[in-house]
Amino acid sequence: MRAGYQLAELPLLLAAQGREADFAAAVRGLPQLGLWSEAAAVVCDGDLARAADIYGAMGAQFVEAWARLLAAERGGLGQLEQARAYFASQGALPYVQRCEALLHASA
């Protein structure tokens, strides 16, 4: 397993709590881990849709869908369907429910 993947979910977990700056501060000065580091930096910059694209290009489907859900929760509703479709295909009911609640709230 590549070292970058071990931290793949941490920037999103912190972003979900509005603590992107904490991740950025924690990794300052550490070696860059290619696209994983690029995606994390984009999350810390608040561009969750772009981070989702990077995760998707790496084949990291769960973190891609999670980033899309977070982007949708922050107003980027164009990301919602892709996130919902992935979570539904995986039977990830709590995430599907979050997607559907957001969809209903935005109607």
Note whether 85 and 55 are within 8 A (CB): no
pLDDT at 20: 82
pLDDT at 9: 85
pLDDT digits (tens, 9 = 90+) for 13-47: 889 998 988 877 777 777 777 888 889 889 988 99
6: tokens are 């071990």
Note whether 68 and 49 are within 8 A (CB): yes
Overall average pLDDT of the 3-15 stretch: 76
Provide the residue count of the chain: 107
CA distance 89 to 93: 10
**76, pLDDT greater than 60:** yes
Please provide residue 31's backbone torsions phi and psi, each rounded to the nearest 5 degrees: -60, 145
pLDDT digits (tens, 9 = 90+) for 53-74: 999 999 999 999 999 999 999 9
The amino acid sitting at 32 is Q
